[in-house]
Amino acid sequence: VEPVVCQHIEGYTYSLGEPMGECTERVMALSKALIAGGLRAPVRTAIRDEIWVKLWGNLCFNPISALTHATLEQIGTDPGVREVVVKLMQEGQAVGEALGARFKVPLEKRIAGAVAVGAHKTSMLQDLERGRPMEIDALVTAVAELGDIVGVDTPMLDAVLALVQLRGKVAGLYPTR
């Protein structure tokens, strides 16, 4: 790949939308360009809901995989770890809903979707293994901080966050501040 060239590896649907839900010329033009390139690019009026559903899975599967080196399938099928996943997702959903997000996918279906991906390593685990900075703040810290702002308690998320931050620090991939 070279400058101004994007290499597409996987996936054919890219939901698009403006932050406030309006249907602007620029989002329609981008959708049209992606469709012309052979992709599906629906314009959504509630893109924030889709972002929250994506973050919902990332905020639990990514740190757990970095801590355990387990795949999505292993995380979602281990009974004890699955309980942690459920608690994290419940807390994340409560934060999102307090901010107006709607979760149209049931929690169990979201977990089943991750398990169905199989022996996949999350991006945070891949970053850890490759010695790259881990996306702890974007995927976990942000949700914990939003919980504080809206008054939603996130005890499981706070505990997992502390653990994955330490994991990142020990590996030299997260700032010690």
Structure tokens at 77: 């099928």
Q: How far, in Å, CA of 38 to CA of 115, rounded?
A: 28
Beta-bridged to residue 177, according to DSSP, are none
Q: How far, in Å, CA of 89 to CA of 157, rounded?
A: 9
| Side chain identity at residue 82, one-letter code | R
Are 81 and 75 a contacting pair, CB within 8 Å? yes
Are 119 and 73 a contacting pair, CB within 8 Å? yes
Are 154 and 147 a contacting pair, CB within 8 Å? yes
- Spatial neighbors of 19 by CB under 8 A, at least 6 apart, are 47, 48
Catalytic (active site) residue 54? yes
Nearest residue to 56 via CA among 107, 119, 118? 107
- Selecting among 32, 54, 104, 109, the annotated active-site residue is 54
Active site amino acids: 54
